[in-house]
Amino acid sequence: MVQGSVPKDCLSQLLQATRKDPSPDLWVQALRDLLQRGLREERSCWTPVPLTDTCRQQLKTLCQKIVGGTQSKLDLERKRSWFIQEDPGPELRPAGDATDSASQLRKRKQVAEESLDPEGERQRKRSRLEEEELDLEPLAGGALVKGAGVREDEIGIEASGHGSIQSQTRGANENAQPDAVMETREASQGSQRDAAAKVPDFMQMHVPRLKMLLERESNQTDGTVPPELQILNECTPGQLEGLCSLLQLSERPEHVLVHFCTWLLALTPKLSYTNAAVLTEQLFLQRVLSLAQPASRHLMAALTSFCSKYARPVCCALLTPVLQASGAGPERTKLVCELIEDSLEPEYVRLVLSQVLEMPWSEELITVVQTLLGRQVELAPELFNLLVLKLCRLAQEFARSMSYTKLMMAVLTIYSSNITPAHRRHLSGALDLNHTALRKSLQAALEQMAPR
């Protein structure tokens, strides 16, 4: 714990500062209570007692009773992750060492945070990457570019010390939310009997009425939400998956989606993020993944209206899985670009860009990045650093790509005010590897930028 190394008066000031947060994180609140108790007891260190096998089994049984068998495996693992004790390994577990318990407690906390807040974990990994690789000013002392004749292996930024940005961002992406979304979607593809088992009887009572409303041919709506639809706010994510399966939402005709999304927009209170993400998958994900021709006007109308109220679930549960899917076709890319251009606010443009920077790039994905930058939203320095590093890492791979070259030109023109001398050095090395007709134009544009 930190009490052994932090003066007591400083620790008291820290505790007072944390109490000013109106909605503190649960881990922060628990740690604050722990430190406060340590101050009262005038103890320099508190060593948590590891749970015995019997206690762990009792907790597991209790959690299973609370869940009641109605939630998916993913939900169950998230609820149980807070007490799972991982073996740190013999090299970190010396006999009689009291720090072993504290190490296990920190690992349990980390597991719970990663499972409950994947977006926060992705942000923390980007922060660590920024500390290790994005501190561009100190990098000025380490020669990235040794002149116009820079070798291919010199474009990496501290490649020997930290590895490529692709490997690091790919590792961050493994814990990203879209993986959980895809896992949830696969778990929901059971039989109708399995779906019914997830949904309580009092919710199943509304299914026939909702089916009848969905099967109506009329496209007219007075904006009134059917009372039965209020159960969407009473479902857990697992129950909502089962309900969507019973209603066969993923198989409904696309003109029905417009009608259904009109109800969702008028539904109060607003759906939770997790439930909105489940609906995003059920309504749109498979339809978009299977696009082989331009999206219909009904699909675009439904998706645009849903995105107007639930943009974050659409970004995380639809756009990211679609962009990550292999073999992205032009129709999928076109749909994503249309949503970015017409439906996303600047904060969600930045969100999608941050997710795209963690993916392996293709020509189709470069087109999406061009659309994102075309919105000309303001980028935080750390996000712009990531963008520059990604472009430098891919300079050799896309040395003959006109799409990549045009993207570089967009960065140099749209975000010229963001480019620092360190950026210029890195970008200069990347341009030396370019073999397109626009190479000299790019180099001239970079040279014209005044040192900052």
What's the pLDDT tens digit per position in 239-257? 999 999 999 999 999 999 9
Residue 334 clears pLDDT 60, i.e. is over it: yes
The CA angle 133-137-143, to the nearest 5 degrees, is: 80
pLDDT of 196 reads 61
DSSP state of 141: T
pTM tops 0.75 = no
* 157 and 187 Cβ atoms separated by less than 8 Å: no
The pair of structure tokens assigned to 252 is 């409904």
Specify the pLDDT at position 28.
77
| pLDDT for 157 | 37
Pairwise CA distance, residues 180 & 283, whole Å = 17
What is the pLDDT at residue 183? 53
- Closest of 97, 98, 93, 166 to residue 129, by C-alpha: 166
Distance CA 73, CA 437 (A): 54
Mean pLDDT on 228-237:
91
Average pLDDT (360-379) is: 96
What average pLDDT does this structure show over 258-267?
A: 92
Count other Cβ atoms within 10 Å, centred on residue 19: 11
Cis-peptide into 118, omega within 30 deg: no
Percent of the chain having pLDDT more than 70? 64
Write down the pLDDT at residue 192.
53
409-411-412 Cα angle (round to 5)? 65
How sure is the predictor about 70, in pLDDT bands with cuts at 50, 70 and 90? very low
What was the pLDDT predicted at 67? 61
Q: Is the pLDDT of residue 119 over 80?
A: no
Take residue 196 and report the two structure tokens written for it: 């019914």
Question: How many angstroms from the chain centroid is the CA of residue 41?
Answer: 41
- For residue 448, the model assigns a pLDDT of 86
Strand, helix or coil at 332? helix
Nearest to 427 by CA among 403, 408, 413: 408
Average pLDDT, the chain: 75
Average pLDDT over residues 186-195: 52
pLDDT at 153: 39
**Of 19 and 283, the one with more pLDDT:** 283
Tell me the three state secondary structure of residue 414. helix
393-424 pLDDT tens trace: 999 999 999 999 999 999 999 999 999 999 99
Return the minimum-mean-pLDDT range out of 66-70, 186-190, 260-264, 404-408: 186-190
In the chain, pLDDT over 90 holds for what percent of residues?
A: 46
CA 9 to chain centre: 38
Band of pLDDT at residue 450, cut at 50, 70 and 90: low
**Report for 152-156, 157-161, 248-252: range of highest mean pLDDT:** 248-252
Mind listing the pLDDT tens digit for each residue in 210-229? 999 888 755 555 567 888 89
- Distance from C-alpha of 188 to C-alpha of 181, rounded to nearest angstrom: 11
Contact present, 368 and 335 (Cβ < 8 Å): no
SS (H, E, C) 231-272: HHHCCCHHHHHHHHHHHCHHHCCHHHHHHHHHHHHHCCCCCC
User: Is residue 114 predicted with pLDDT exceeding 70?
Assistant: no
> Residue 9: its pLDDT value, please?
73
Distance CA 441, CA 109 (A): 52
* pLDDT: which is higher, 59 or 195: 59
